[in-house]
Chains A and B, each alone.
Chain A
Amino acid sequence: MRAKIILTTIAAACMSFSVMALSLNEAKSQGMVGETAAGYLGVIKGSSDVKKLVADINKKRKAKYQQLAKKNGISLSQVEKLAAEKTYKKTSSGHFIQVNGKWVKK
């Protein structure tokens, strides 16, 4: 019984993970979200679902950035800048990035 509950929890966690990864990718390819110059995701258009997803991911990103900043003895903004460079490089063509405050298709 106990093992079944644990298994169900793990399965549910896996499913929610894949659903979120999929929706982020969907949101990207449908032009709903893009990468900002600050190293975070930005909402271009979309419902509250998209906003919630972006807020959730940005919160997790910020926690990781802060961790990296502390570990390497540099400021959060320095990590954010490096992260922005990284996300711009990694963004696949057809997805959006923010350049001088405007959304452009890479």
Chain B
Amino acid sequence: MKWMLTLMLVLVTSACTHKVQVETKEPITINLNVKVDHEIRVKVDKELDDLFSDESELF
């Protein structure tokens, strides 16, 4: 009887741990997107700097 109770307790605990992992997945993906966006922004910003440099006829 005591053995069964321990087994159930372990199962319940592990199930809970699993649920927490699923919940944390989404925010991590969003952060990753923001990071990529920022990198592209910085990259394009630098390339625009080159485009509008002092020798440029376009600015």
Contact surface of A with B, Cβ cutoff 8 Å = 17, 20-21, 24, 57, 60-61, 64, 68, 72-74, 79, 82-83, 86-87, 90
Contact = CB atoms under 8 A, between A and B. Distances in A.
B55 to A, nearest CB: 8
14 contacts: A17-B57, A20-B57, A21-B57, A60-B57, A64-B51, A68-B47, A72-B43, A72-B44, A74-B40, A82-B45, A82-B48, A86-B49, A90-B52, A90-B59
Nearest to A86: B48
> Contact residue range for chain B?
10 to 19
Contact of B48 (A17, A21, A24, A68): A68
Interface of B: 40-41, 43-45, 47-49, 51-52, 57-59
